[in-house]
């Protein structure tokens, strides 16, 4: 179902009591969505917020994309505007409707990264608010950066899906010509991303996923977090690999439209 392979792993950082990074994905025959959220360590309910956000959005995306219009640029920008509004509203409403909601939405603060593959139009809808990084493998097996971390005015400050300005800070990309996507939290980004580029070693993860399947690749990712990524940070680390099963459908040219 869905025509995609998904593997993922997450582990808590050395100074954390629990892993506030959460991952969830949902597959239908036409739409596959993977979501990663990093709960704000300074907020008491952020782990719950991240869990709600990933689960709610992954299941809601088929419905939220029903009216998405890809026919021309004007339609696309309007559709993206509506999508941003709907994503923020849907996640915040899910948090507020949850059991034992504290009454303060900021207690549930989390960043958000997602990738949705839409089979019938052979496009990816990718979204990001806050830090962490989203990268992809193009048709020539190059690793490229789709969305960089976005930080605030001060060190270690970023933006969250629960912020009042979340709609304006949520970045949406429509992407063609890629075989797969990597979502990585801020902790993992410390190992795989810099302003000079992204780690080409990620190509091995994609290769292993095709050779060994989802479950074994998830184990490999976990080992890499434990043995490599956590050596460079005290933060939680999570990574999600989302790849097309049929790479023959990938078009020969890369096109990234930021909305």
Query: What is 4-258's CATH topology?
Result: Phosphatase 2c; domain 1 (3.60.40)
User: Cα–Cα distance between 198 and 179 in angstroms, integer?
Assistant: 16
Q: Which residue has the tokens 């299941």?
A: 59
Using a pLDDT cut of 90, give the percent of the chain over it: 80
Q: Is the pLDDT of residue 50 over 70?
A: yes
In what order do the strands lie in the sheet containing 171-176?
21-27, 31-38, 112-118, 123-129, 171-176, 255-258
Burial grade of 80 (CB within 10 A; 0-12, 13-18, 19 or more): buried
Domain ranges of the chain: 4-258
pLDDT at 193 over 60: yes
Q: pTM for the complete prediction?
A: 0.95
Reply yes or no on whether the pLDDT at 69 is more than 80.
no
pLDDT digits (tens, 9 = 90+) for 146-162: 999 998 655 567 999 99
Note the pLDDT of residue 153: 56
Residue-wise pLDDT for 98-112, tens only, equals 998 999 999 999 999
Average pLDDT over residues 19-27: 97
CB atoms within 10 A of CB 253: 9
Predicted local confidence at residue 91, as pLDDT? 98
Average pLDDT over residues 151-180: 89
């Amino acid at each position: 179902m869905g025509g995609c392979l998904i593997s993922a792993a997450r582990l808590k950082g050395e100074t954390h009591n629990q892993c506030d990074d959460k991952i969830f994905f949902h597959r239908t025959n036409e739409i596959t969505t993977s979501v990663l959220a990093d709960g704000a360590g300074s907020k008491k309910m952020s782990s719950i917020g991240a869990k709600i956000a990933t689960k709610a959005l992954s299941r809601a995306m088929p419905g939220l994309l029903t009216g998405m219009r890809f026919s021309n640029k004007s339609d696309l920008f309007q559709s993206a505007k509506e999508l941003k509004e709907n994503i923020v509203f849907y996640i915040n409403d899910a948090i507020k409707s949850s059991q034992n909601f504290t009454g303060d939405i900021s207690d549930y603060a989390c960043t958000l990264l997602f990738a949705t593959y839409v089979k019938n139009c052979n496009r990816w809808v990718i979204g990001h608010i806050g830090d962490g990084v989203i990268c992809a493998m193009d048709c020539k097996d190059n690793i490229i950066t789709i969305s960089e971390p976005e930080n605030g005015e001060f060190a270690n400050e970023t933006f969250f899906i629960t912020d009042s300005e979340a709609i304006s800070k949520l970045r949406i990309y429509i992407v063609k010509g890629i075989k797969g996507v990597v979502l990585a939290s801020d902790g993992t980004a410390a190992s795989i991303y810099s302003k000079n580029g992204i780690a080409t070693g990620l190509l091995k993860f994609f290769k292993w996923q095709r050779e060994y399947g989802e479950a074994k690749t998830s184990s490999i990712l976990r080992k890499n977090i434990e043995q490599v990524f956590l050596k460079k940070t005290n933060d939680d680390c999570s990574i999600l690999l989302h790849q097309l099963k049929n790479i023959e459908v990938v078009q020969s040219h890369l096109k990234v439209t930021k909305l």
